[in-house]
Amino acid sequence: MLIKNPATGATIADVPADRHAAVRRKYEAARAAQPAWAARSLKHRLDTIRAFREQIAQRRDGLARTLTEEVGKPIRQAHNELNGLVGRIDFFLAESARTLRDKTVFTDAPNKLEERISHEPLGVIANISAWNYPYFVGANVFVPALVAGNAVLYKPSEYATLTGLAIAEMLHASGVPADIFACIPGDGMTGVAVLRQPVDGVFFTGSYATGAKIAAAAARRMVKVQLELGGKDPIYVADDVDVKAAAAAVADGAFYNTGQSCCSVERVYVHEAVHDAFVAAFVAEVKSFKLGDPLDESTYIGPLTRAAQIAVIKRQVAEAKRKGARVLTGGDAIKRRGNWFEPTVLTHVDGTMLVMREESFGPVIGIQKVSGDDEAVRAMNDSEYGLTAGVYASDGKRARRILDQLEAGSVYWNCCDRVSPRLPWSGVKHSGIGLTLSTYGIETFTRPKAWHLRG
């Protein structure tokens, strides 16, 4: 499997992909090793994750470089991801013991009755992962899963293979047995082979299209299936905002990671009273973004990770133009080696256009004028997706009233494109089922067992 640098098209590595026989061997080794891992103390498992955290902190510069070279993420954003990862691990280190401890929830002394809950690991789980934030979306699953006593078959995205292999190397160096965390490099075919194993849980991060196939493949197995999928995340800008500040914040939310975040802002609705001023400030902000070599510290926009996405965005922009949209900046692929697309801002868009309906997952955004809060809420909820949604407004009461009506797993007031380890990360509609992060995202890797004890 050739690993290409998306900024240049150059081949940077050739890694053998695991096919069915290799996947089977890793599954059997994980199955055999898991009971002993679960029997180790929670303290021991937490100590290995603490050592993993140290490895990340020590190797940060090299890891960031690898991430930039294989995914194209601008190097400062690669550093941000690694710094954020350390914070997430700290959350799991701080909260796991309290969340996973056995709890007595009821006692009835005269009748000598006690009711308790314990948390048992699921067993061997599959973690099929995405490339856009490989450390974040991977660790959201494998860190709490390992802490809870599971073995993990980790299938990194084929676009983040070197990062996946580095994660495995660091976990093993930190004391996680090789059979307990198995990295399974490969593409979708390898993912299919992983799903053929009789695993006890499937935890997937990726697109709705693949998620639907995975749900179908696992449907008859009666194992936990969690799907963290795409989004078409809207922002509404009300008429009482500081327009310049809101434009800068929303532009960052739309273009950070070159628009390739599940929670990137993908649609903007602006109150008609501030629409023109907002658009002017927004376009000025986007034009100031520095595009170029992702290894350069000052670069903000890099290449698209997947070459195929260029055609998707081109089609969205062409269709929008045909239906009357105006391109205020950008609008086309950039002719140079690698996968590049101009940062693109469209206005005069509407809810029938692909650019306002399909996930773009790139540096393109549509801005639509709305008459007020009610129209904004209707437009925001008019989507197959429901990952995040937000509002920029000065009036907090008004903002909360709007957020209350939004069909999304996460809602934001005067912020966007944000994930917190303390809060559950989930989607509604085609954005997925299940959740990660927060204390719920620790419990989710366990089977709560009910104890009825009399005597």
* Residues annotated as part of the active site: 228, 262
Q: Cβ-count burial of 313 within 10 angstroms (0-12 exposed, 13-18 middle, 19+ buried)?
A: buried
Q: Does 218 bind ligand NAD (CB under 6 A)?
A: no
Beta bridge partners of 447: 120
Q: Which is nearer to ligand NAD, 123 or 441 (CB)?
A: 441
Q: Which is nearer to ligand NAD, 263 or 274 (CB)?
A: 263
Q: Which of 432, 435, 437, 441 binds ligand NAD (CB under 6 A)?
A: 432
x/- letters, 262..281, toward ligand NAD (CB under 6 A) = x-------------------
Q: Tokens representing 334?
A: 């950039």
Q: Which is nearer to ligand NAD, 415 or 453 (CB)?
A: 415
Q: Does 157 bind ligand NAD (CB under 6 A)?
A: yes
Q: Which of 37, 91, 131, 154 binds ligand NAD (CB under 6 A)?
A: 131
Q: Does 213 bind ligand NAD (CB under 6 A)?
A: yes
Q: Does 388 bind ligand NAD (CB under 6 A)?
A: no
Q: Does 8 bind ligand NAD (CB under 6 A)?
A: no
> In this structure, are residues 384 and 207 in contact, taking their beta carbons and an 8 Å threshold?
no
Coarse DSSP helix, strand, coil percentages of the chain, rounded to the nearest 5 percent: 45, 25, 35
The residue count for binding ligand NAD (CB under 6 A) is 32
- Phi and psi, residue 22, nearest 5°: -65, -40
Q: Where are any strands of DSSP class E within 112-221?
A: 113-121, 124-128, 151-155, 181-183, 201-205
Q: Which of 70, 81, 158, 342 binds ligand NAD (CB under 6 A)?
A: 158
Q: Which of 5, 205, 226, 368 binds ligand NAD (CB under 6 A)?
A: 205
**Helix (H) or strand (E) run with residue 180 in it:** none
CA 365/CA 350 separation, integer angstroms: 12
Q: Which residues contact 416 (CB under 8 A, 6 or more apart)?
A: 233, 235, 249, 250, 253, 263, 265, 388, 390
Q: Which of 134, 164, 191, 363 binds ligand NAD (CB under 6 A)?
A: 191
Q: Residue of minimal CB distance from ligand NAD?
A: 191
SS3 405: coil
Q: Does 132 bind ligand NAD (CB under 6 A)?
A: yes
CA 140/CA 144 separation, integer angstroms: 7
DSSP assignments along 408-454, one per residue: SSEEEES--S---TTS-EE-EETTEESEESTTHHHHTTEEEEEEEEE
Q: Which is nearer to ligand NAD, 134 or 330 (CB)?
A: 134
Q: Which is nearer to ligand NAD, 250 or 262 (CB)?
A: 262
> In this structure, are residues 380 and 404 in contact, taking their beta carbons and an 8 Å threshold?
no
Query: Helices (DSSP H) in 40-133: which residue ranges?
Result: 42-71, 75-100
- Phi and psi, residue 415, nearest 5°: -160, 170
Q: Does 313 bind ligand NAD (CB under 6 A)?
A: no
Q: Does 182 bind ligand NAD (CB under 6 A)?
A: no
Q: Min. distance of Cβ 67 from ligand NAD in angstroms? A: 14
Q: Does 359 bind ligand NAD (CB under 6 A)?
A: yes
Region at 324 (left for phi over 0; alpha for psi -120 to 50; beta for the rest): left
Q: Which stretch binds ligand NAD (CB under 6 A): 36-44, 188-196, 338-346, 365-373?
A: 188-196
Q: Which stretch binds ligand NAD (CB under 6 A): 130-138, 284-292, 410-418, 437-445?
A: 130-138
x/- letters, 225..254, toward ligand NAD (CB under 6 A) = ---xxxx-----------------------
- Can you give the binding site for ligand NAD, defined by CB under 6 A? 128-133, 137, 155, 157-158, 187-188, 191-192, 195, 205-207, 210, 213-214, 228-231, 262, 359, 361, 387, 425, 427, 432
